[in-house]
A and B are shown apart, each in its own frame.
Chain A
Amino acid sequence: MRAGDRTASQQEERVPRLAPDCDPTGLDLTPAQGFLLSRIDGLTPESVLLQLGGLDPDEVRRCLDDWSSEGLVVFGKGGPPSRSAESAPVPVVDEALDRIPTPDPELDLPVKAQEAILEMYERLERPYHELLGVPLDADTRTVKRAYFGLSKEYHPDRYFRRDIGAFQPLLERVFRKIVEAYELMSDPGVRAEMERSLSGEAEAPAGAAGSAPGAAKPRSRPLSPFSSLGRLIAKRRAKAKGFFEAAMVAGGEERWLEATGSLRLAIAFDPANALYRERFGEVQPKAHAIRFEQLMKEADSALSFRDRGDALRLFEEALHFKPYDPEANHTAARLAWLVAEDLRKAKEYALRATEAEPDKGDYRRTLGQIYQAAGFAANARRELKAAVRLNPKDKEARAALKSL
C-alpha cells in the first residue's frame, strides 16, 4: 500500500452577511436590490446569489461591493463551518467537506449532472429511504432497484478520468452514502428500528396499529438471518457498542477528548444509533471547549514571548472550535490588524467580538480603529463614539475619534 495524497482544493468564496447594527431602510434600493438584500443570510455564498433571478450577475457583484464598502455587508469565509460549530449537528465522520462547489459550466460534467449531484449532496442527512427514494416499507427488491439506479447515476466510475473538479469528493461522498443507505435498508433490524422511530415522529398512532393482529400492513420480505449483511451489521453494532462504552468510561472520568473520539467511532460503526449521536452532541462541545482552552493557553504564552505571528495562528485555530468567543475574536482582530495587517480579516474578527458583546467598549474601539485604518470613516466614527460612550475614560478611543 502507498500513502494517499488527499489534497482538497479549496478556492475561497465570499459569503456575504449583513453587518450588525446596520439599518438598510434608509438606503435607496430598487425592488430587485431589496430582494437581493433579503437573500443575504450569512450562509448563501456569492455564487448562489449571482444566480438569483431578476438581477444580472454584474449588478449583484456591484451591489455587494458597494454595500461592503459602505459597511452594510461583510464577507465571511463560508457558511457551513460556523453553522456546524454553532449547532453541533451530526458529525461528518469520513471527511470534512467544508466547501460546496457551485455549478460550473467549465467542468467536464454537464451542468444538469452537477445540479443533480449537489441536490443529492444536500439530501445526504435525510432518512435512508428518502435518500434512496423508496417508501419506508419498500421490499428488498425495490430497495435494490433504487440502489442500482442511483449507482448508475452517482458511481464515481460514471465520470472516470474526467475533470469534474470539486465535484469529485462530493460524488464520492454521495456514492458512499447511497451504499450505506442500501446496506442498512437491507438489514431487517435496522429497518425495524427506522420504521419505529420514523413512524413515531410522523404519525404516532401508526405504531399502535401494528400491534392489532390483521391490521398490520404488508411487511417487507425479511432477509435471511444468515445474511452476511445482517451479521456484518451485528458485528459493527457490537463494535460501536464497545466504542460507546469506552466513551462513557472516558466521559465519566471527564476525559472529553477521548470520549469524543470514541463516540465518533461508535457513530461510524452504527450511524443509525440516535443515542450515540445524542451523546456526541453533548460531549463534542466539551472536547471543543478543552481544545479551545489549550489553544488559548498556547496563544497567550506565545503572546507573552512576543511571538505574535504564532499567537495569531493559535488564536485562529482556537476560533475554529469556538468561533464566537468574544475575547479570542478581539485579540485575533488586534493581531490581524497590527501584525498581519490583514484588515479584512481583522474587521471580521472585530465584528464577531462586538456582535457577541456589543456593550464592551474595548471591542467597539478596536472595530472603530480597524474601520479607520481601512478608510471607512463613518463606520469608524460610529464605533469609536460607542466606545467612548461605553467607557468615557478610554483615552485611546478619544484620541482616535479626535484624529478623525
Chain B
Amino acid sequence: MSRVIGIDLGTTNSCVAVIENGQSTVIPNAGGYRTTPSMFAISHDGKRLVGHLAKRQAITNARNTIFGSKRLIGRRFDAEEVRQAVEFCPYEIVRGANDDPRINIAGKTFTCPEIAGIILREMKRVAEEYVGEPISDAVITVPAYFNDTQRQCTKDAGKIAGLEVLRIINEPTAAAMAYGAGNREEEKVAIYDLGGGTFDISILDMSDGVIEVLATSGNTFLGGEDFDRRIVGHLLERFQETEGIDLSEDPMALQRLKDAGEKAKCDLSEREKTEISLPFIASDDSGPRHLQLEFDRSSLEALVHGLVNQTIKVVESCVQDAGLQPGEVDRVILVGGQTRMPLIQKAVGECFGKGAHKGVNPDEVVAVGAALQGEALVSDDQKLLLLDVTPLSLGIATAGGHFAKLIERNTTVPVRKTHTFTSTRDNQTAVKIRVLQGESDAAAHNDLLGEFVLSGIRKAPKGEPEIEVCFDIDANGIVSASATDLATGKEQSITVNATGTLSQEEIERIIEDQELFEVASKG
C-alpha cells in the first residue's frame, strides 16, 4: 500500500509528514529544513524556483517572487483583503476571468490554486525523495475558518500538484489529532493557532481516540504577516523621521525591511532587545543611507497589542459557542510560529487561567496531524476518529436581501439539509438560488459560494411546484447541492456558477501546463 502524506500548506511555510511503522516523521527537505517557505519565483533567467531557493533570491527579485498567496486563495478580487494585498505586495495582483485574484510574475499570470499547487508539488517531491517511492495520497490542511470556496481551491491545488486529496482537514483539528493520538483520557482542549496568515481557535472534546470539535472560529486574514507589517510600518516611519526618505515605494527595500522585521520579531521572543541593521538601504545626493536602530520587546508589544486582543475576543466567543467556561478547558495548545511570542502566551494563559501545554512543536504539529488523519482513513484499525464541524453557517439569500440559514455554524460534518423552494409566478420554469456562507443576517455581508439555476420546473400556478434542494457539507467542509422535483421525483439539473474557483477545464489545462514544465525542466 502506498503511503499517505500530510501536508500543512501554510501562508509562510509548509511542512510535510508521513507515518512510518506507526511513528510520525516530519520530512526534511534537501537543505535539511523541516519546513519549506511557501514561496514561488521566476528568476531573472526564467527559472522556476520554489521554497528556499525562491526565498533566497526574494530581495533581489521582489517583483517576481510570490509569498503569502494563501491569503488570496478563494477570494474575490474585489474583497477588502485582496485590496490590502494589492497595496502591500511587491508582485502584481490582477483580476482573473472568474473575478479571482491572479498573480503576474515575469510576464506570466498564475491563479492562486496554481501557485498552491506548485508548492504542494514541491512538498510531494520532498516526501517522495525521502521515502523513495511515488506518493499520490495526501491529506492537506486549511485554516478552520476557510469557507467553501477556499477549501475547494485548495483541493484543486492538490489536483494540480498530482495529488489525490483524501481529505481537507482543519489546521487546529490536525494539531489536536497529533496531540490526542496517543491519549486515551477524557479532555477538553483548546487549540490556539496563529500562523503566518490566519488565526483559528478550536475547542475540542476528546476521549479514547475520538476527537469531537465543539466549536471553531477564527479570522482568515490575521496572522504573523500582519505582525510583520506593523513592524515594517514602524521601521518606515522611523526611517522617514531620521533620514527624511520614504522607502514605501521601493520593493527591494520593503523586502529587506520585511525580512529584518521578521527576524527581529523572532529574536524578541527570546530576548528583551535586538538590533536592526540594514546598511545601504537607500541613497540620495548625500550618499548611501543605512537603517540602524535598537528595537525592544515592549515597543514590539505596543505595536501588535491590538492584534493580540482581536484574537482573544474571538477565543472568548468560541469558548462560549462550545458551551463552556474558559476554566473548564483542561488543556491549551499553541500552534503556529507566531505563538512563540511571549505576549501571546501571556494573553492566552490569562484567558484560560492556565499556561499552555509545552509538548508540541508549533511548526510541525499540523502536518503530523494531517498524516495521522490520512493513516486513520486508509487503515483498518479505528484508533482515531475525527468529528469536525463546519465553521460557517450555510444558507440562501431570500427576498429583500436577507440571509436564511439552513445549516448553522459548528454543525458536525458530514451534514445534509434540505430546503423546499417554490415558484413565485404562474408557469415559472426556473428559479435562481444564491448560496452563501457567513453569520450576517444581511445576504450582502456573507460570502457568495455560488448561484444555482433550477430549471425545468413543471409549469404550474405559483406556489405549487415543490423543488427540494439538498445541501451537503462533506467531511472536507465542501458544499454541494442537488435538487428534486417533489411532485415527480425527478432530479433537477443544477447549474452552478461558482465564484472564485476554477472550472474543471481550467484545472486540466493548468495540469497540462505543469506537466509540460516538468518535462522542460528535466530536459
By a beta-carbon cutoff of 8 Å, the part of chain A in contact with chain B is 1-6, 93-96, 144-145, 148, 151-152, 155-158, 160-161, 172, 175-176, 179, 183, 223-224, 226-230, 232, 235-236, 255, 257-258, 260-261, 264-265, 268, 291, 294-295, 317, 320
Instruction: Kindly identify which residue among A1, A6, A224, A257 contacts B496, using a CB–CB cutoff of 8 Å.
Output: A1
A155 touches B387 (CB 8 A): yes
A227 touches B482 (CB 8 A): no
Residue from A1, A224, A229, A294 having most chain B Cβ neighbours under 10 A: A1
Instruction: Kindly identify which residue among A148, A157, A255 contacts B475, using a CB–CB cutoff of 8 Å.
Output: A157
| Binary contact track B329-353/A, C-beta < 8 Å → 1, others 0 | 0000000000000000000000000
9 inter-chain pairs at a CB distance below 8 angstroms, sorted by A residue, are A1-B450, A2-B498, A151-B387, A228-B320, A255-B463, A261-B486, A294-B460, A295-B487, A320-B489
B496 touches A160 (CB 8 A): no
The 10 closest A-B pairs by CB, nearest first: A227-B323, A4-B480, A148-B210, A1-B479, A261-B420, A228-B321, A3-B494, A160-B377, A4-B482, A6-B482
Minimum CB–CB distance for A107 against chain B, Å:
15
B466 touches A226 (CB 8 A): no
How many Å lie between the Cα of A48 and that of B110 in the bound state?
A: 58
B481 touches A1 (CB 8 A): yes
How many Å lie between the Cα of A226 and that of B324 in the bound state?
A: 8
* A228-B322, A235-B408, A317-B488 known; A151-B210 Cβ under 8 A: yes
Write the chain A residue with the least CB distance to B466. Answer: A261
By a beta-carbon cutoff of 8 Å, the part of chain B in contact with chain A is 148-149, 152, 166, 205, 207-210, 212, 214-215, 320-325, 376-378, 382, 385-387, 408, 410, 412, 414-420, 422, 435, 449-450, 452, 460, 463-464, 466, 470, 472, 475, 478-482, 486-489, 491, 494-496, 498, 501
- List chain A residues, Cβ under 8 A from B209: 152
How many Å lie between the Cα of A44 and that of B75 in the bound state?
A: 53
B481 touches A4 (CB 8 A): yes
Write the chain A residue with the least CB distance to B496. Answer: A3
B385 touches A2 (CB 8 A): no
How many Å lie between the Cα of A385 and that of B337 in the bound state?
A: 90
How many Å lie between the Cα of A96 and that of B491 in the bound state?
A: 13
- List chain B residues, Cβ under 8 A from A5: 482
A1 touches B480 (CB 8 A): yes
Minimum CB–CB distance for B469 against chain A, Å:
10
A-B pairs under 8 A by CB, number = 130
How many Å lie between the Cα of A258 and that of B210 in the bound state?
A: 42
How many Å lie between the Cα of A165 and that of B387 in the bound state?
A: 23
How many Å lie between the Cα of A66 and that of B307 in the bound state?
A: 80
Minimum CB–CB distance for B453 against chain A, Å:
11
B387 touches A161 (CB 8 A): no
How many Å lie between the Cα of A3 and that of B482 in the bound state?
A: 6
B320 touches A157 (CB 8 A): no
How many Å lie between the Cα of A236 and that of B215 in the bound state?
A: 17
A94 touches B416 (CB 8 A): yes
Minimum CB–CB distance for A129 against chain B, Å:
19
Minimum CB–CB distance for B456 against chain A, Å:
14
A1 touches B498 (CB 8 A): yes
A94 touches B377 (CB 8 A): no
* A228-B214, A228-B321 known; A2-B378 Cβ under 8 A: no
B417 touches A94 (CB 8 A): yes
Instruction: Kindly identify which residue among B323, B325, B435, B466 contacts A1, using a CB–CB cutoff of 8 Å.
Output: B435
- List chain A residues, Cβ under 8 A from B385: 148, 151-152, 155, 157-158
Minimum CB–CB distance for A383 against chain B, Å:
32
* A1-B148, A3-B495, A4-B480 known; A268-B418 Cβ under 8 A: yes
Minimum CB–CB distance for A328 against chain B, Å:
16
A152 touches B482 (CB 8 A): no
Instruction: Kindly identify which residue among B416, B449, B460, B482 contacts A176, using a CB–CB cutoff of 8 Å.
Output: B416
Minimum CB–CB distance for B421 against chain A, Å:
9
B418 touches A1 (CB 8 A): no
* A227-B323, A258-B422 known; A95-B470 Cβ under 8 A: yes
B212 touches A148 (CB 8 A): yes
Please give 14 more A-B residue pairs, beta carbons under 8 A apart, in addition to A4-B482, A148-B210, A228-B410: A148-B207, A152-B209, A157-B475, A160-B378, A224-B325, A228-B214, A228-B323, A232-B408, A258-B463, A258-B464, A261-B466, A294-B460, A295-B487, A317-B487
Write the chain B residue with the least CB distance to A233. Answer: B408
How many Å lie between the Cα of A2 and that of B325 in the bound state?
A: 39
- List chain A residues, Cβ under 8 A from B450: 1
A226 touches B387 (CB 8 A): no
* A1-B449, A3-B480, A265-B420 known; A157-B377 Cβ under 8 A: yes
A161 touches B480 (CB 8 A): no
A2 touches B496 (CB 8 A): yes
- List chain A residues, Cβ under 8 A from B376: 157
Minimum CB–CB distance for B454 against chain A, Å:
11
A1 touches B152 (CB 8 A): yes
Instruction: Kindly identify which residue among B210, B382, B418, B491 contacts A93, using a CB–CB cutoff of 8 Å.
Output: B418
Minimum CB–CB distance for B109 against chain A, Å:
24
B463 touches A172 (CB 8 A): no
B480 touches A2 (CB 8 A): yes
Instruction: Kindly identify which residue among B320, B382, B420 contacts A226, using a CB–CB cutoff of 8 Å.
Output: B320
* A94-B417, A228-B410 known; A4-B472 Cβ under 8 A: yes
B466 touches A257 (CB 8 A): yes
How many Å lie between the Cα of A232 and that of B321 in the bound state?
A: 9
* A1-B480, A94-B416 known; A230-B323 Cβ under 8 A: yes
How many Å lie between the Cα of A155 and that of B210 in the bound state?
A: 11
Minimum CB–CB distance for A250 against chain B, Å:
8
How many Å lie between the Cα of A2 and that of B500 in the bound state?
A: 12
- List chain A residues, Cβ under 8 A from B486: 261
Minimum CB–CB distance for B413 against chain A, Å:
9
- List chain B residues, Cβ under 8 A from A148: 207-208, 210, 212, 385
Minimum CB–CB distance for A228 against chain B, Å:
4
Minimum CB–CB distance for B151 against chain A, Å:
10
B481 touches A152 (CB 8 A): no
- List chain B residues, Cβ under 8 A from A161: 166, 377-378
How many Å lie between the Cα of A4 and that of B482 in the bound state?
A: 5
Write the chain B residue with the least CB distance to A227. Answer: B323
How many Å lie between the Cα of A250 and that of B494 in the bound state?
A: 28
Instruction: Kindly identify which residue among A151, A156, A226, A260 contacts B323, using a CB–CB cutoff of 8 Å.
Output: A226
How many Å lie between the Cα of A228 and that of B148 in the bound state?
A: 22
- List chain A residues, Cβ under 8 A from B417: 94, 268
- List chain A residues, Cβ under 8 A from B207: 144-145, 148
How many Å lie between the Cα of A227 and that of B319 in the bound state?
A: 10
Minimum CB–CB distance for A369 against chain B, Å:
30
A229 touches B323 (CB 8 A): yes
- List chain B residues, Cβ under 8 A from A183: 412
Minimum CB–CB distance for A215 against chain B, Å:
30
- List chain A residues, Cβ under 8 A from B480: 1-4
* A2-B152, A6-B482, A228-B322 known; A156-B420 Cβ under 8 A: no
* A3-B482, A157-B475, A158-B382 known; A95-B498 Cβ under 8 A: no
- List chain A residues, Cβ under 8 A from B378: 160-161
Write the chain B residue with the least CB distance to A173. Answer: B416
